[in-house]
Amino acid sequence: MRRSLPLLLFLYACGTGNGDLCTRFYTPYPDLIGDRPRTANNAPLLDAMSAYRQGDYSTAVAGLTGVVDRDGTDRLARLYLASSLLGAGEPYKAEMHLDFLERVPGAPFKDQTEWYNALCWLCSGQAPRALEQCRMIAKRPAHTYKAEAQALAQALQGQ
């Protein structure tokens, strides 16, 4: 319960409409790195990812912040940090890290940053902005989050 308290408080503060949608549509980015062999160099990352997998986003935020502070070029750690911040009820901070990822040449996480930005806006009470982002994503023929964006847009239009 303690782990989910920040998210519950945040969602309560958002009111029923967008908070309910935030809870419904937020899914943490899949853990693709937590099973790496442990080394002295990646131990802090793996510890943070263990908390992430357990849904302990506040602990994951603390660990991933340390990883990103030590290596600002670790884009995957930054993506997990943004997802953790969103899960911990801190969409504005999550958006800041997504903005950083959007500026990386070649935009390796373009689909992810677009979708998680829509969630940041939704969870911070910016429903019109989230709806606009979802419509943009839904127009893309091969967007990773096209179905999710269509469903969220439909839910937002039904409010």
pLDDT at 61 over 70: yes
Which pLDDT value is given to residue 107?
80
Sign of CA dihedral 91, 95, 96, 98: positive
Which pLDDT value is given to residue 15?
41
pLDDT, tens digit (0-9, with 9 covering 90-100), for 16-34: 456 699 999 999 999 999 8
In terms of pLDDT, which residue wins out, 14 or 130? 130
- Alpha carbons 116 and 82: distance in angstroms, whole number: 8
How crowded is the C-beta side of 69, counted as CA atoms within 13 Å? 7
CATH 3.40.50.720, domain 5-157, yes or no: no
> Which residues make Cβ contacts (< 8 Å) with residue 122, sequence separation at least 6?
18, 21, 22, 25, 130, 152, 156
Which pLDDT value is given to residue 51?
98
Which pLDDT value is given to residue 128?
97
Report pTM: 0.87
Contact in structure between 110 and 94 (CB atoms under 8 Å): no
Q: Where are the domains of the chain?
A: 5-157
Which pLDDT value is given to residue 4?
47
Copy the structure tokens of residue 146.
């096209």
